[in-house]
Amino acid sequence: MTAALGGLPDMARRAGAALLDLVYPPSCLVCRKAVAQNGALCAACWSDIAFIERPFCERLGTPFERDLNQPGLISPEAAANPPVFHRARAVARYDSDKARSLAHWLKYYDRLELAGPMGRWMARAGADILSDADVLAPIPLHRLRLMARRFNQSAALANVVSRECGAPVETMALLRVKPTAPQVGLSRAQRAANLSGAFRVDPERAALLKGQNVVLVDDVLTTGATANAAARALLKAGAARVDLLVFARAVTTG
């Protein structure tokens, strides 16, 4: 009898979920067509997301056009302009309309339910860098922007990734102390200048990062200026290594 009663909460949750599915049938995260379960994409939208898979640059996570059968290969861009962070991993290319839409809806349209599936995809895409991660650090917003937006999409994603990989999230150690101008439309050099001095580690929490393998978490990677500035602050504070995990990344060709 005790065992039977102990199973009631799980049974109630399953019954509740089934009831919700009847009232609100599961639909595709992008196009709203019917799907088998909540938090999923339909077959058409899934095929339209440009997922990034190996072979890719081990430093920047950018996909190679063909398999050169050389494990550990880095791209010419990574060799010419090595990032401050050690490795980057991403779920999809930002030039995919579907991936870009998901990132925009989470960031600008308060679609917080997207953080769950997006974060789970990120945990799978970054499994190699998460395997020895000691702590996750979401890219922070300046306090004024956080007040205006009400939530930090990077922190929402980091919390989901944490549940998947087990590494704790430290949301207050890395601070954004400079209210930078929007990065859209700026050149690589302008972005770097805009972010100079934008981040610092809270001295009272620096011990949490000292000697640790830190994984920065963000929604989108474009030129890498934001990630480089944040990684520089973490390394200066004593982090042993900084990797980067994002949902989507820009991919340049030619």
Each residue of 144-174: pLDDT tens digit?
Answer: 888 888 899 999 999 999 999 999 999 999 9
pLDDT at residue 7 tops 60: no
Domains defined for the chain, CATH in brackets: 1-48 (no CATH), 50-249 (3.40.50)
User: pLDDT band at 20, cuts 50/70/90?
Assistant: very low
Q: What is the DSSP letter of 240?
A: S
Which amino acid makes up residue 254?
G
Q: What is the pLDDT of residue 157?
A: 98
DSSP conformation letters of 210-251: TT-EEEEEEEEESSSHHHHHHHHHHHHTT-SEEEEEEEEE--
pTM equals 0.87
Return the minimum-mean-pLDDT range out of 120-129, 150-159, 180-189, 226-235: 180-189
